[in-house]
Amino acid sequence: MHHIDVSIEKDIFDANNRLAAKNHEILAAAGIRAFDLLGAIGSGKTSLVEKMVPLLKKRGLNAGAIAGDVYGDDDFQRIVATGAPAVNANTGKECHLDAHLVHHAIDHLPLDEIDILFIENVGNMVCPTDFLLGAEKRIVVISSTEGDDVANKHPMMFRESTIAVINKVDLAEYVGCNVNRLESDIHRYNPEMPVFRTNMRTGDGMEELLDEILK
């Protein structure tokens, strides 16, 4: 029985990853670079998109987004308020986006108006790691308010991502978070991963982060 379960799970991942590759092809053919945003609820994923839209505009690039949530459209509405085209993708009971949901969302985007697409996953530090969506980089956002052990508790999230963002660094001293410990834990699981410290309310660190995203 256990062997059957493992086989089914492998089939699900394989089918997802084939569709993720297809998503990547569709976006690349439209001249779009796509980036996944991973992290817990409240870490700053939507804030990152809000801050990046005008920064990209200054560089002559138009942003778009897919906002993933279990239910509701709060993040979607915040992104739409920036003027960027966006699609709301509700997962129902699922704690992550998958390539199939993203594939359908892409169909509803004005691809000819988008240069950079942010795919904001459901707020969760575990489920999204196994499901590729078709992006070229995965950006994991954590915040000081989650505690300085959050990276150590979620090694796979950091092993499977490309860029790490430690947000709300201005609050670290108030919540007793050692940001240096966070960064060293991240590098223990992914030694080459670039780590950026940000305050998304003020925009501190965002230009440098954008330089790395667009490399």
Tens of pLDDT along the chain (215 residues) come to: 455 566 767 888 999 999 999 999 999 999 999 999 999 999 999 999 999 999 999 999 999 999 999 999 999 999 999 999 999 999 998 999 999 999 999 999 999 999 999 999 999 999 999 999 999 999 999 999 999 999 999 999 999 999 999 999 999 999 999 999 999 999 999 999 999 999 999 999 999 999 999 99
Rama region for 8: left / alpha / beta (φ>0; ψ in -120 to 50; rest): alpha
**Angle, nearest 10°, between helix axes 206-213 and 45-58?**
80
The SS3 assignment for 140 reads: strand
Query: Which stretches of the chain are DSSP H helices?
Result: 2-29, 45-58, 74-80, 99-107, 150-153, 155-159, 172-175, 179-189, 206-213
Return the CATH fold of 2-213: Rossmann fold (3.40.50)
Neighbours of 130 (CB within 10 A): 15
Q: What are phi and psi of 68, to 5 degrees?
A: -95, 130
Neighbours of 55 (CB within 10 A): 15
